[in-house]
């Protein structure tokens, strides 16, 4: 039999290890904590945990959104839905102009930044204005993705992936349902 003095350090180490593991299991968050900015390693985009502040913010009640939007727009923009590939509007090029948010009319993407990705969703290499979007890490479905949201109404638009063409190398994969095309004025 080993003396107790030889066994206790082993037992103690195991106990501490189990306690630390238990603590980590309890405290490791599934989503980032509030009010934090995290640089996404894959895209280099700064992801926030809370919406940006703007003077022109559009904040409506759930009932008001349902009144304002179609069922499909509401499902995607307000409820983080995704349209079926190749089934949404705004897939084909429409000429000069820009695409605005169906929820609040904020310009989101310029037509010149649109490209054919072959994915079945409207794809852009960069936003109309970086201030008009914000990003959030989306850890649903066992993946870490970058969610794109409208900065004025905080509506869900789609995701950004690091497999786009140069120079940005980014692919903004957006639900065409939540975009309205505005032709360039003559
Ligand atoms: Zn919006």
pLDDT digits (tens, 9 = 90+) for 68-97: 999 999 999 999 999 999 999 999 989 999
Task: Note the Cα 51 to chain centre separation in Å.
Answer: 12
When the pLDDT of each residue in the chain is averaged and rounded to a whole number, the result is 88
Task: State in Å: Cα 44 to ligand 1 middle.
Answer: 23
Task: State in Å: Cα 2 to ligand 1 middle.
Answer: 70
Q: What is the pLDDT of residue 186?
A: 76
Task: State in Å: Cα 118 to ligand 1 middle.
Answer: 26
Architecture of domain 32-183: Beta Complex (2.170)
Nearest to 108, CA basis, from 68, 146, 155, 72: 155
Q: What is the pLDDT of residue 110?
A: 98
Task: State in Å: Cα 133 to ligand 1 middle.
Answer: 9
User: What number is the average pLDDT over the span 11-27?
Assistant: 50
User: Does residue 155 contact residue 101 with C-beta atoms inside 8 Å?
Assistant: yes
Q: What is the pLDDT of residue 1?
A: 46
Q: Which range has the worst mean pLDDT, 52-61, 63-72, 135-144? A: 135-144
Predicted confidence (pLDDT) per residue in 98-149, tens digit: 999 999 999 999 999 999 999 999 999 999 999 999 999 999 889 999 999 9
By annotation, the residues acting in catalysis are 173
Q: What is the pLDDT of residue 20?
A: 47
Nearest to 128, CA basis, from 150, 104, 152, 110: 110
Give the helix, strand, coil percentages of the chain, each rounded to 5: 25, 25, 50
Angle at 158 between CA 157 and CA 162, to 5 degrees: 135
Task: State in Å: Cα 76 to ligand 1 middle.
Answer: 12
Residue 33 pLDDT level (bands cut at 50, 70, 90)? low
- In this model, does residue 41 exceed pLDDT 50? yes
Dist CA 181 CA 100 (whole Å): 6
């Amino acid at each position: 039999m080993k003396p107790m003095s030889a066994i206790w350090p082993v037992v103690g180490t195991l106990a501490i290890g189990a306690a630390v593991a238990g603590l980590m299991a309890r405290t490791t968050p599934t989503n980032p904590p509030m009010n934090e900015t995290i640089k996404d390693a894959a895209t280099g985009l700064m992801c926030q945990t809370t919406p940006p502040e703007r003077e022109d913010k559009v904040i409506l009640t759930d009932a008001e959104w349902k009144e304002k939007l179609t069922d499909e727009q509401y499902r995607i923009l307000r409820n983080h839905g995704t349209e079926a590939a190749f089934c949404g509007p705004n897939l084909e090029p429409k000429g000069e102009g820009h695409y605005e948010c169906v929820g609040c009319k904020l310009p989101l993407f310029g037509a010149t930044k649109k490209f054919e990705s072959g994915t079945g969703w409207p794809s852009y290499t960069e936003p109309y204005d970086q201030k008009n979007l914000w990003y959030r890490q989306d850890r649903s479905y066992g993946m870490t993705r970058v969610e794109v949201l409208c900065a004025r109404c905080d509506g869900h638009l789609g995701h950004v992936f690091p497999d786009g063409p140069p120079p940005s190398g980014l692919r903004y994969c957006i639900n065409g349902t939540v975009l309205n095309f505005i032709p360039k004025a003559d």
